[in-house]
Amino acid sequence: MGLIGTTITFLAGTAFGVYLCHTYDVPTFNQFKEAAIVKVKSLEETYNPYSKSNKVVVTQQKNSIL
């Protein structure tokens, strides 16, 4: 495509991205990061076998022979 075609494509993509961000409520990376941290902490509290308040109870089931 060459340098001119690549530059035009890049500028068109940048202009479209700016338009989307100004027109619509596009979430930022920080919002995704904070949501992921909250989710990971929740999973860690729930499934950590060494925590004092372990919420998961694992029971072994006996296999019955028919």
Residue 57 CA to residue 55 CA, distance in Å, equals 6
Q: Note the pLDDT of residue 58.
A: 55
pTM over 0.85: no
Q: Note the pLDDT of residue 28.
A: 83
Residue 9 CA to residue 15 CA, distance in Å, equals 10
Give the residue ranges of the chain where pLDDT is below 50.
none
Q: Note the pLDDT of residue 48.
A: 77
Q: Note the pLDDT of residue 27.
A: 80
